[in-house]
């Protein structure tokens, strides 16, 4: 799928690794196949910077975790954007594009990322 150009705000399905394999996932890293938000696409390098979603409500809602309501297409469950898990992946991990996030939700995630990364 590396030939496809992804846009900021796209929701893609990504294989982040097998959580049972310690060579693929360490500590509290996110694993499994899950929806992720594209925040930067580098098609010339076949890389995409993403934020993973989880449908499991966090025990504590930090400012860098953003709730996004389900939309029946891209996110079939109310989900939480885990901005603390920002990472750049190979486009080869992407299984397919699911849709796009709303501009309002994207703005809320950008604000959370700026706070998490200490950017102004």
Burial of 112 (0-12, 13-18, 19+ CB in 10 A): buried
Nearest to 52 by CA among 28, 25, 16: 16
Please give the mean pLDDT across all residues of the chain: 88
**Inside any domain, residue 2:** no
Q: Output the pTM of the full model.
A: 0.86
* Domain membership of residue 110 as a residue range: 10-117
How far is residue 105's CA from residue 79's CA, in Å, rounded to a whole number? 11
Judged against a pLDDT cut of 60, whether residue 77 lies above it is answered with yes
Rg (CA), the chain: 14
Portion of the chain with pLDDT greater than 70, in percent: 84
Q: Which two tokens stand for residue 7?
A: 């846009």
Cβ 15 vs Cβ 48: under 8 Å:
no
**Inside any domain, residue 99:** yes
Q: What is the pLDDT of residue 73?
A: 79
How far is residue 53's CA from residue 89's CA, in Å, rounded to a whole number? 15
**Inside any domain, residue 76:** yes
Instruction: Count how many domains the chain has.
Output: 1
Per-residue pLDDT tens over the stretch 16-66: 876 665 565 555 556 678 999 999 999 999 999 999 999 999 999 999 999
- CATH code assigned at 104: 2.30.30.110
**Inside any domain, residue 4:** no
**Inside any domain, residue 3:** no
């Amino acid at each position: 799928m590396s030939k496809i150009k992804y846009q900021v705000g796209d929701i893609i399905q990504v294989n982040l690794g097998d959580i049972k394999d310690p060579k693929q996932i360490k500590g509290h890293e996110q694993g499994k196949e899950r929806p992720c938000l594209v925040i930067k696409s580098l098609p010339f390098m076949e890389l995409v910077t993403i934020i993973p979603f989880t449908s499991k409500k966090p025990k504590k809602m930090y400012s860098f975790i953003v709730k996004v309501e389900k939309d029946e297409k891209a996110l079939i469950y109310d989900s939480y954007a885990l901005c603390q898990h920002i990472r750049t992946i190979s486009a080869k991990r992407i299984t397919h594009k699911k849709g796009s996030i709303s501009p309002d939700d994207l703005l809320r995630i950008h604000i959370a990322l700026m706070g998490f990364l200490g950017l102004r």
